[in-house]
Amino acid sequence: MSVGLITLIGCVVFWRLLPNSRAFAPQRFELRKAVGDLLGHIRSPALLAAYCLGGINFLIFINQYSYITFRLAAAPYQLAASGLGLIFLTYLGGTFGSMISGRLAGRFSPAACMMMG
């Protein structure tokens, strides 16, 4: 109950703090156009490389968190569920890293940011 309430409050605060959209023109969804756009993105070598890089990074990330919890739950560590849950505080590193990356993206070109990453 409390988690749901906190989530609801967070959603309301987020909604209220969002800036108004600028230059947004809603369009009717057309499956053929969406598929064509997707194929166009996949045919771009630069975008395809970025998608693969992001996908591989995501899979490594998921694998690390899955593996480490099993490893630390077993002997010799035998951490309790509460201790294993604390591992997920390391997500905060990603939160701060994203914040820093966003600031760098405003200063440097996309190619330079990809190289730094």
Residue 10 scores a pLDDT above 90: yes
- Asked if residue 22 is part of any domain, the answer here is no
- Asked if residue 10 is part of any domain, the answer here is no
pLDDT at 5: 93
Residue-wise pLDDT for 19-76, tens only, equals 988 888 889 999 999 999 999 999 999 999 999 999 999 999 888 888 888 999 999 9
Q: Do 42 and 75 fall into the same domain?
A: yes
Cα–Cα nearest to 53, from 114, 94, 103, 116: 114
Number of domains in the chain: 2
Q: Do 33 and 75 fall into the same domain?
A: yes
pLDDT at 1: 80
- Asked if residue 15 is part of any domain, the answer here is no
Q: Do 69 and 97 fall into the same domain?
A: no
Residue 104 belongs to domain spanning:
80-117
pLDDT at 49: 94
∠ CA 56-72-66, rounded to 5°: 25
Maximum CA extent, the chain = 58
